[in-house]
Amino acid sequence: MKDNLKEKNKGFIQTFMVFFGHVGSIITIIFSLLLLSYGLFSIWDMVQVYSGAYVNDDILKYKPLDDGDGGPNPSIYKLMDINEDVIAWLSIEGTGIDYPVLQGKSDMEYINKDINGETSVSGSIFLSSSNNNKILDDYSIIYGHHLDNSTMFGDVTNFMNKEYFDAHPKGVLFLPEKTYSISIFACVKNEAYDKELYDIGNKNENQRTNLLNYIKSIAICYRNVVDDGRSKILALSTCNNYGLYGRTMIFGYLKEVGIKYDEDGNEIESNSTPNKALYPDNYYTVRFGIKRYGFSIINLICMFVSAVIVVANIYIYKREKRNSINTDRKGTGIFINTFISIIIYIAMLIVYFITQDIKVKIVIIDRWTVLFIGILLILAVLKLIQKSKLQEENEGKNSLVT
């Protein structure tokens, strides 16, 4: 009796241990899957953040050329075709700050939205919604997220380092109608509720002086830059690692490139006409992954001549079909010839649609011209073959009559 009871207890204990062993294994598997899911999500999240933080080729190709002469920058208008909220292109020499600048209806609009209007954790570089979009205010602020790998405004915090600050004194702000040089004179570590630094807009002489004195008094890094009293002030602002409201800002004077002044500060020369081609030599648009550099006249001629050949082939085939029933090999050959011509021309139309863009620029030849000439020659050869088969067929009919 006792032995049976011991056996039952032993069996119960073994069952209990096996059960909890399985439960433990299941918990371990679930915990491992959770860790794996979290790791994969972290990788996905990092990819999402940084994939939107870099300027892709489709946007970078519209960056204005910095030739030092100033004047208008027509390529900004192509960015406006992508998003009408684009107002400029900002570039700080020797840094990763090299982005188009947008302006939303509020300062929250482009926090998590890219230039294409799509959701993006890295957001966009944007001018304060309270500022004039033509940078007419005395004091303007441009915002951007602080990301690593020198993306977005990640390099703004590097200006807190004296050596970095000294090595990067200049930048450029390209507007559609003009170009500004940026002379960086200060870097400040502050907080988001600093009313003095975030009070943007126009300033009278005293307000401007007070702002500059305040910046100098709290600056981590500072350099003496000649201030003519007329230069607009631009600040770049981003968050930092010093608390929830921690911010880092760099400040620069804006001076229009291409304008010269006399000793009294009067404007004596202005570059008011475009000094850059509307489309640089390397400008292109993209359709289905194919870069389109222009609209070729020779390619258009090839398309027209090819269309004439194909239409002539179709007409002749239908005429012969009406006049006689071609059940022999020659009649079948004419049909195949015409069918192949039509297929080739359809392929030619597709290639033409993908590779040509009249909105870019009109050129004589482009990189696709050889292909179009080759297709035209193939159609011409098919036309000659068709003509030869018709001659053979007509000669055969004449011999039967005689």
Check whether residue 144 and residue 198 sit in a common domain: yes
Buried b (16+ CB within 10 A) or exposed e, 281-320: eebbbeeeeebbbbbbebbeebbeebeebbeebeebbeeb
Q: Which residue is associated with the tokens 């990763």?
A: 96
**Is pLDDT at 122 greater than 60 in this prediction?**
yes
Whether residue 69 sits in one domain with residue 29: no
User: What residues does 247 pair with on adjacent strands?
Assistant: 190, 239
Per-residue confidence (pLDDT) for residue 57, from 0 to 100: 77
Q: Which of 250, 278, 306 is the last residue of a domain?
A: 278
User: Any idea what the CATH number is for the domain that residue 156 is in?
Assistant: 2.40.260.10
**Maximum Cα–Cα distance across the chain:** 124
Instruction: Note whether 211 and 109 are within 8 A (CB).
Output: no
> Are 147 and 273 members of one domain?
yes
- Name residue 400's amino acid: L
Task: Note the pLDDT of residue 275.
Answer: 41
Q: Are residues 17 and 109 in the same domain?
A: no
| pLDDT, position 244 | 78
Residue among 278, 203, 257, 263 at smallest CA distance from 233: 203
**Pair (293, 386) in one structural domain:** yes
Among the three residues 229, 246, 278, which one is the final residue of a domain in this structure? 278
User: Do 20 and 146 fall within a single domain?
Assistant: no
Is the domain of 43 the same as that of 187?
A: no
Q: Whole-angstrom Cα distance, residue 151 to residue 377? A: 50
Same domain, 139 and 214: yes
| 63 and 21 within one domain | no
Task: From 183, 226, 364, 353, select the one nearest 285 (Cα to Cα).
Answer: 353
Give 237-261 pLDDT, tens digit per residue.
999 888 778 999 999 999 998 766 5
pLDDT digits (tens, 9 = 90+) for 127-186: 999 999 999 999 999 999 988 777 889 999 999 999 999 999 999 999 998 999 999 999
pLDDT at 274: 44
Same domain as 228, residue 164? yes
Residue 334 burial (C-beta neighbours within 10 Å; 0-12, 13-18, 19+) = buried
Percent of the chain surpassing pLDDT 90: 34
Residues 6 and 94 in one domain: no
What lies within 8 Å, CB to CB, of 198 at 6+ separation is 141, 192, 237
Instruction: Provide the residue range defining the domain that includes 34.
Output: 1-51
- Overall number of domains in the chain: 3
Which tens digits make up the pLDDT trace of 199-229?
998 999 999 999 999 999 999 999 999 888 8
Specify whether 251 is located in the same domain as 113: yes
Residue of higher predicted confidence among 372 and 187: 187
